[in-house]
Chain A
Amino acid sequence: MRLEPFDTQRHMVFSRRATVFGGGASLLFLGLGARLYQLQINDHDNYQALAEDNRFNQKIIMPLRGEIFDRFGKAVATSRQNFQVLMVPEDAGDVERVLREVADVLGLDQKELARIRKEAARQRSFTPVSIADNISWDQFARINFLAPRLPGLRSEVAATRDYPLADSGAFVVGYVGAPNERDLEQATSDETKLLLRQPGFRIGRAGIERRFDEKLRGEAGSVTVQINAHGRVIEEYPNLADQPVQGQPIGLTIDAELQEQVSKILAATNDDANRNTDHHEMSASAVVMDVHNGDILVYASVPAFDPNEFNVGIRQARWKELNESELKPLLNKPIGGAYPPGSTFKLITAIAAQEAGIEPAHKVTCRGSLWYGGVEFNCWKKEGHGRLDMRGAIKQSCDVYFWDLAQRIDIDKLAEVARRFGLGTIHDIGLGGQVAGTVPSREWKKKYYRSNPAQQTWFPGETLSVAIGQGALTTTPLQLAVMTSRLATGREVHPRLVRYLDGASQPVPNFAPLPMDLQELDVVRSGMDAVVNEWGTAARSRLENPEWRMAGKTGTSQVRSLQYDPVTGRRLKNYELPWKERDHALFVSYAPYENPRYACAVVVEHGSSGSGTAGPKARDIMRAVLTKDPAKIATYVPKPGDFKTVLDKRQRREG
């Protein structure tokens, strides 16, 4: 090795210094070891005790979900106390003993017990496992009585969603459910994810709850808690800067009281509406609107389901039952059910005819049928209606008269008028699952048969079907209510379901007059009046109070082609057919006739007869609405402090 003198010197100095550093490091390591010994061996008992007593944790305080209330401030979705029982396996020690003791009180079956055991095994032993949710006050009291003897058992009061309207509000308010993996993936921030992971947190799954979920959700707060080994909170350090904020309140246009009444009327099987049938259970829907501002006062669909069941977690068997019922309790019928409008559509045909240059005075003689293209079209009245003008034809709902008109109206004109009155379009009222229905036209047919050019031609015979509300034409009950509102007012009425949002009442809309000669409406209105009040097709639906004079139109729409007795060749009556093959019954109406305020559309699935089933129900609904006259009652506007922002102080029991 060849080192120059200065190199030797600096090498020696380096070696000395490096040794000093090495020695220093060794000493420091010994120091660290001594400190560790002191902490982990000498003071272990002391720190062990501190650890038991001194677990700090950051706990999320879940926000209360915003309240949803009806037009008069009645809660339709709110929060209630949820009595829960939890168990901390680590503290329980003998988990089986705890389960044995509580199983009786709570009525837990083997399946439930298996779930609890599985969860207890999967989680960290100091993480609480949910034993039961939504238990009764009585059960809660008995658990609290047991708790002191059973370590690890905890009872808590949390908030859960409550739907006071139950079935009758199901399709408007919707329901909430536990977030799933997809919701977690879609969460934009870590904070949201954390909130979604909280046990008991719910997000909107249907209806208004879903549409306005973000507004209803609120903001989470946090609290620093000091808990001991048993999970008991020794001290809470509320984080004043991070208080939970309740979701905003949302006000609906519906009248909860009427909503419940109408649901009952629709579901009734023992009223005079059912004399033609075998008292089959009702599958029906109704929409009542305030024609001045488009407020949907009643939005009913029967049968429905109880959204509270969905919040708690619906049982498989119950779900299957709902899903398979021929009454379609899960279908949101007012916007999701598309039915041929039947004779109610003749009102639109009457307007289209006038716009095609046919005077209301135009007369046709009905002899019970019409020959067209070598086919005999039968009027609903075999004996014929005799000589009728347009008003008379509406009153009697004469098919032959409207077939005569149909030969003089272009289908595209008819479709244009139908759209003008709100058919064939989606009316966004904040609910999901809405269908547009079908308003047939040449263009529609071309699109519908785009893969089959031979089928694309529109035949004039088809216009005959559409003119009396059959053929490919379908509409929803909401669209029919909108149509009736527009016929009654001559204005472009739009429906709305939400009237209080973002802390303010929504502005009262001012609807523009329809772009047409409004005199065309006169004969339609007068005809509708005659239907009810001049011994027309719905004479039995007349309201007894003359101030409530209701104008209406019946509709009976075929579900399938006419059925004949194979032996006698007699046309079968509806009640002789299986329920699913019976005609739909429809009725559209508004009242009072002179000064329209309320419009109502009723559809009874397979109700057999518009005049026999739907009409009387509409009459009962209108009677209820006019008796209360909700449009005249001041609506509710929330003031600060009207809604609770914090649920009653959480309780905690020590095991």
Chain B
Amino acid sequence: MSIILPDRRYGLGLLDAWREINWPLIMLLSLIAGAGVATLYSVAGGSWSPWAANHILRYVIALMALFVCGFVPLRYWLALAYPAYFFVLFLLLLVPFIGEVSMGAQRWITLGAVRVQPSELMKVALILALARYYHGLEFKRVSNPIFLVPPLLLIAMPVVLIFKQPDLGTALMVAASGFAVILLAGLSWRVTIVGVIAAFVGAVTAIKMGLLKAYQIKRLTAFMDPDSDPLGSGYHLTQSKIALGSGGLAGKGFMEGTQSQLQFLPEKHTDFIFTIFGEEFGFIGAMVLLALYFAVFITAANIAMQAKSHFGRLLAMGLAVSFILYVLINTGMVMGLAPVVGVPLPLVSYGGTVMLTVMISFGLVMSTWINRDQDTLRTASTVSSL
């Protein structure tokens, strides 16, 4: 058996890795974060505090995290996948005991000097774990119901914990990202359809049994008819649409948004930030921002396609899908196309853990890109001994 193999199939030195950095991806992410800084500056009434300056700082720190994660060889990530998953799962378990309550939900825990939302970290950890699982699974077994049990468990455990916090939005998002990886791994459509029907029946039963709180159901359904209760659940939505709509083609101009400045939205610096952006920069600005997001997705998907290892492919694509899902749900939400659930707009919404999670996931994508030519993710010595 030939053992003359190019170096890059087994991993690269740091210098080589640096040469391999995917700069367009970094550029796109920075442009989006820049849009976030500008909007946060405007939301604060033309002030760097309390959000804009912090946002820059957090982006710089998160960017360093991206580089660090990107330089870690992909085979290490393969080895780390399960430990990372169970570590984050452990953090999630801790939340009810040492978590801090914020806005009626317990989501935060303090690790040393840092306050983190384990539910956000789980978005990355789950995709890592599922990619690891399917990396080692023969294709013919993917649609075998028995081999579907472990991934479903991997998804269900964190989702239930997050749902209990309660954070319906994140729970649904984590679940959706997980299922995306299963589909990417090649689960047959037949099994998928059966699963979707089962999930639907399960969800209806859950609602009937009262697992969802009244406000959660109301928020989920309000987007279909926001005018039914203009000062209640649909209130944010109505105001959001007015702000966007009054922005027009070119927008009202930077810091000139009258609607958003009138403080009708309690979370205008987080979940509803796209509204402010859209009001001030108009249709043109909003489309440019959406295009940037789409470009990020395409870049990451392209990296997934070029990766030779199955782990890398699933990881990069899974993270790309998860990322774009957030963008679609958030922007869809403020436009009245999706339910009002607490989903931030990646890199633009104010929030440290989300920023860090997004950048770590692109660190993994970067690692996939740098190590794209390694197929088996084994070291040279292991290969040669085969």
Residues on A lying within 8 angstroms of B by beta carbon are 1-3, 6-7, 9-11, 13-15, 17-18, 21-22, 25-26, 28-29, 31-33, 35-37, 39-41, 43-44, 46-48, 50-51, 54-58, 124, 126, 224, 237
Contact = CB atoms under 8 A, between A and B. Distances in A.
Contacts of A17: 183-184, 186
Interface centre among B262, B282, B321 (most CB of A within 10 A): B262
B310 A55 contact: no
Nearest to A5: B139
Nearest to A46: B245
A32 B337 contact: yes
Contacts of A14: 184-186, 310, 313-314, 317
Contacts of A40: 244-245, 247-249, 278, 282-283, 286
B150 to A, nearest CB: 17
B140 A18 contact: no
Interface residues of B, number: 53
Contacts of B259: 51, 55
Given A1-B375, A32-B290, A13 B245 contact: no
Given A17-B186, A36-B283, A56-B262, A6 B245 contact: no
A17 B264 CA distance: 42
A22 B298 contact: yes
Given A11-B313, A22-B298, A46-B245, A2 B278 contact: no
Report the 9 A-B pairs with minimum CB-CB distance, sorted nearest first: A47-B245, A51-B246, A13-B186, A10-B139, A40-B283, A44-B248, A39-B245, A56-B264, A47-B246
Given A39-B335, A44-B249, A1 B140 contact: no
Given A10-B310, A14-B313, A17-B186, A43 B264 contact: no
A2 B249 CA distance: 53
Nearest to A13: B186
B317 A18 contact: yes
Interface stretch (B22-30, B300-308, B346-354): B300-308
Contacts of A1: 308, 375
A11 B310 contact: yes
Interface centre among B294, B321, B331 (most CB of A within 10 A): B294
B241 A29 contact: no
B137 to A, nearest CB: 9
Contact of A7 (B184, B263, B282, B310): B310
A48 B282 CA distance: 12
A6 B324 contact: no
B241 A39 contact: yes
Contact of A6 (B140, B283, B301, B308): B140
A32 B332 contact: yes
Interface centre among B183, B245, B262, B297 (most CB of A within 10 A): B245
Contacts of A28: 328, 332
B246 A44 contact: yes
Given A14-B186, A40-B247, A51 B139 contact: no
B242 interface: yes
Contacts of A124: 45, 261
A31 B294 contact: no
Interface string B6-25: 00000000000000000000
B29 to A, nearest CB: 17
B140 A25 contact: no
Contacts of A31: 337
A126 B244 contact: no
B118 to A, nearest CB: 27
B221 interface: no
A55 B259 CA distance: 7
A267 B243 CA distance: 65
A41 B244 contact: no
A9 B317 contact: no
Nearest to A22: B301
Contact of B241 (A47, A48, A55): A47
26 contacts: A10-B185, A13-B139, A14-B313, A17-B186, A18-B184, A18-B301, A18-B305, A25-B297, A25-B324, A26-B294, A29-B290, A35-B335, A39-B241, A40-B248, A40-B278, A43-B245, A44-B246, A46-B245, A47-B242, A47-B245, A47-B246, A50-B245, A50-B246, A51-B243, A51-B258, A57-B263
Given A10-B139, A10-B185, A39-B245, A32 B301 contact: no
Given A15-B305, A39-B335, A237-B231, A44 B258 contact: no
A56 B286 CA distance: 24
A51 B280 CA distance: 13
B172 interface: no
B216 interface: no
Contacts of A29: 290, 294, 328
B220 interface: no
Contacts of B375: 1-3, 7
A22 B317 CA distance: 10
B287 interface: yes
A14 B375 CA distance: 15
B161 interface: no
Interface string B373-385: 0010000000000
Given A14-B313, A25-B297, A48 B246 contact: yes
Contacts of B304: 18
Contacts of A9: 139
